[in-house]
Amino acid sequence: MSKDKTNLSRRNALRLIATTAAAVPVIGCSEKAAPKVELKEDKAATKPAVKNLDAPKQTLARGTPTDPDLLNPVVPWEMQLDARELAVLAALCDVIIPADEISPSASSVGAHHYINEYVSAPYSNNKADLVTIRGGVVWLDGESRRRYQGPFVELNESQKNAICEDIKWTRNAKPEFQAGARFFAKVRVLVSTAFYTTEEGMADIGYVGNRPMASFPGAPPEVLKRLGLES
């Protein structure tokens, strides 16, 4: 949620709660590092070769794929799509999720960049999707030129929609549009994730959580009434 809707930013609220709870220093998690101990390794191993005692040393994330820095996430792979491909995807993102009176369009919150991040990931599923997306972009531009003599990004709204009508659902798309429909379905899935995981998308559907509160209120009375659950 946007920070201006509450007096406390989330992080400050967290800090406040954490400090008031810990009136006493947190045991066993003190900042002091355990003393570094040099060991003589040439002795017979009859005693434990203990190296860091009392408390384990405070190692943090190692920055590997199985142990990334959770507090400071980074995308560790290179992006694969080029500017021209991204421009086509941005235009398609906005056909799938356009701006309306409630929220902005998908491309304005960077949905096409998320698609790039997704298809560039080094995992087998993502690599397969990279082929689908790249091939789909070529097909979409080709189809635009065949029908309207121009690239997809230069088509007007009704021209874009006319193509999308033919590929909007794999189950009833004509055989010649099946590949386009599979491409469209994949983009729709990725755009949905991209858009609804932003503050703008969350606000659009009325997600109002992720804010600290003293007690959990449960279902509000108007909701219970609509469900016929009033006690």
Decide if residue 223 touches other proteins (CB under 8 A): yes
Which position among 57, 127, 147, 174 is part of the footprint of other proteins (CB under 8 A)?
57
To the nearest whole angstrom, how small is the minimum distance from the Cβ of residue 127 to other proteins?
12
What are the tokens at 211? 């804010």
- Closer residue to other proteins (CB): 84 or 226: 226
Q: Are 68 and 109 in contact (CB under 8 A)?
A: no
Q: Are 120 and 86 in contact (CB under 8 A)?
A: no
C-alpha 194/C-alpha 188 separation (Å) is: 10
What is the phi/psi pair of residue 26, to 5°?
Answer: -70, 125
Decide if residue 176 touches other proteins (CB under 8 A): no
Please spell the DSSP secondary structure of 36-55, one letter per residue. Answer: P----TTS-TTS----S-SS
- Closer residue to other proteins (CB): 149 or 217: 217
- Residue whose tokens read 């701006």: 99
CA 170 to chain centre: 25
Which position among 5, 32, 42, 66 is part of the footprint of other proteins (CB under 8 A)?
66
CA 46 to chain centre: 52
To the nearest whole angstrom, how small is the minimum distance from the Cβ of residue 225 to other proteins?
10
Which position among 4, 8, 23, 140 is part of the footprint of other proteins (CB under 8 A)?
23
Question: Which range in 78-86, 133-141, 147-155, 187-195 contacts other proteins by CB under 8 A?
Answer: 187-195
What are the tokens at 180? 């386009």
Site for other proteins in 114-173 (CB under 8 A): 114, 117-118, 121, 123, 161, 164, 168-169, 171-172
Question: Which range in 83-91, 137-145, 146-154, 203-211 contacts other proteins by CB under 8 A?
Answer: 203-211
